Amino acid sequence: MRTSNDVIDLLVVGGGTAGIVGATTASRLGASVVLVERDRTGGDCLWTGCVPSKTLLAAAAGASGPAGAAGPASGGSDFSTVRERIADAISRIEPEDSPAALTAAGVTVRHGAARFTGPGRAEIDGDVVRFRQALVATGGEPVLPLIPGLDAAPVVTSETVWDLTELPRRLVIIGGGPIACELGQAFARLGAGVVMLVSSRILPREDPDAVDVVRAGLARDGVHIIEGVTVEGVTTSADGGPEAVSRVQIDDGRTFAADTILVAAGRKPRTDGLGLESLGVDLDEQGHVRVDAMMRTSSPMIWAAGDVTQNPDFTHLAGVHASTAVSNAVLGVRGSVSRTVPRVTYTSPEVAAVGITRPETSHHRVRTIEHAHADRAITEDRIAGFTRLIIDRRGRILGGTVVGPRAGETVGELALAVHQKLTTRDLAGVTHAYPTYNDALWQAAIADAYTTLDRPLVRSALTTLVRLTRWRVSRASRHHGTDIAPTRSRL
């Protein structure tokens, strides 16, 4: 075992989004940084998450759709093309997250498994590293539920689905969250027969009206969604061929044949084996690292960011939180993270949301613009969807939901409005490009801002201003010899 005499300012454990952003930020602030990654830098987002899944969705957008009842899906060669497209996208983005890029940014990259052994000490495959502070950014991984027979079935998760070399003829998905919906729609569009088995309803966090729109979109693409059911067991047999065929049974007795079972039933943090107990770092019941608003753990020298914490599992959140954590650690400041977190499910149509998405008190009001009244949606004949705002009694925008094409692009402006506590009058006063889907957000703000005109005091003030202006204009016209007779106000 070798021990270095050097004490580094920051040890970063994990080379995903949180680790990369944290390490490069700390280095730019002047700290000495070592980043340890046991597999490959880039993390889930690059290799098994955002990049491949969004590329798959884009590739599937132009496909013919489900195989239907006529027979099994074909398209092995087409799926090879899809795989090549995914690999190409990863290869074009990977250099930004590579060890070479990190090294160029002043970060020392170590390949191996890190374990904390005590305050200010960690082991990396036998080498002892001494540090002043550390950022835990080890991410999360899919959970496999305890379902009888599942371990013997042809199962893939969001991490291993990319290892498929052929398009599944019959794909059963266990789960109904964003990953399940996105991959289910993509595979159905490519030609697979897709069944989704959901314990409650799809996208349980989202506005029910938005979910109805997404559900209809999935159904149009051939995804058979069964909600409110429990998977009781899986049986697998060779079925006369080299490939295993499984039957997935639900609680009402029905069974569904599957060549592949995609399990998308949640994730868990990667904290096992890190030795966090030696530092007194508190974990929650699921193993997430507990952090405060400054991303500090219960240990004064340990910080954490990304999916390993109890915060939502979003790549954009991981980067922001890591930057906050290392700024606090390296500079000794006390910055805190924003609680305004937008989220997007990239189905067709997309659904995006931020802040409060449903009224929580009688003082909250709702403004909805159906996209049947949005000119861009009409011109493209894609009117399924809406933009909805939740507003408080002072007119401040508390949150909202957008469902429709490119909803994820609109939610950025909505997130800014929520974060800055803007009112609908603030938003209505900003000129928006026309025609865009984003125009519906402006329309919703204007519709709410107009309601203030009907308040008695406001109406009285407006009446007075109109009368005063009428009198001034009439007086000016007489002064200049223009005959404009005053009229009796009808207000």
pLDDT tens string 134-193: 999 999 999 999 999 999 999 999 999 999 999 999 999 999 999 999 999 999 999 999
Q: What is the mean pLDDT of residues 18-44?
A: 97
Residues 4-19 have a mean pLDDT of: 93
Find tokens 């309803």 and name the residue.
201
pLDDT higher than 80, residue 481:
no
- Is the pLDDT confidence value at 240 over 50? no
**Predicted pLDDT at 108:** 98
Smallest Cα–Cα separation from 336: which of 324, 353, 354, 352? 324
Asked whether the domain spanning 150-265 has the same topology as the one spanning 2-41+98-142+268-331, the reply is yes
Whether 226 has a binding-site annotation, put simply, is no
pLDDT band, very low/low/confident/very high, at 64 (cuts 50, 70, 90): low
Question: Residue 76, annotated ligand binder?
Answer: no
Q: Does the annotation place 20 within a ligand binding site?
A: no
> Considering just the CA atoms, what is the radius of gyration of the chain in Å?
28
Contacts of 71 (CB under 8 A, 6+ apart): none
* Whether domain 349-454 has CATH 3.30.70.2190: no
Torsion sign across C-alpha atoms 359, 360, 362, 363: negative
Angle, CA 302 vertex, CA 297 and CA 305 arms, to 5°: 70
178 is in an annotated binding site: yes
Six-digit token string for 117: 């052994």
Structurally, at CATH architecture level, domain 2-41+98-142+268-331 sits in 3-Layer(bba) Sandwich (3.50)
Domains of the chain, residue spans: 2-41+98-142+268-331, 150-265, 349-454
**Is 285 known to sit in a ligand binding site?**
no
**What's the pLDDT tens digit per position in 331-340?**
999 999 999 9
* Mean predicted confidence (pLDDT) in 88-115: 97
The pLDDT of residue 70 is 32
Find out whether 421 is annotated in a ligand binding site: no
Q: Is the pLDDT of residue 393 over 50?
A: yes
Tell me the CA distances in angstroms from 214 to 198, 223, 331, 349, 419, one per residue in order: 15, 11, 45, 6, 27
Taking phi over 0 as left and psi of -120 to 50 as alpha, with beta for the rest, 263 belongs to: beta
pLDDT in the model for residue 71: 36
Architecture of domain 150-265: 3-Layer(bba) Sandwich (3.50)
Residue 307, marked binder: yes
Mean pLDDT of the chain: 92
Residue 489 has pLDDT above 50, yes or no: no
DSSP 8-state secondary structure symbol assigned to residue 377 = H
175 is in an annotated binding site: yes
Nearest to 135 by CA among 161, 162, 107: 107
Residue 50, marked binder: no
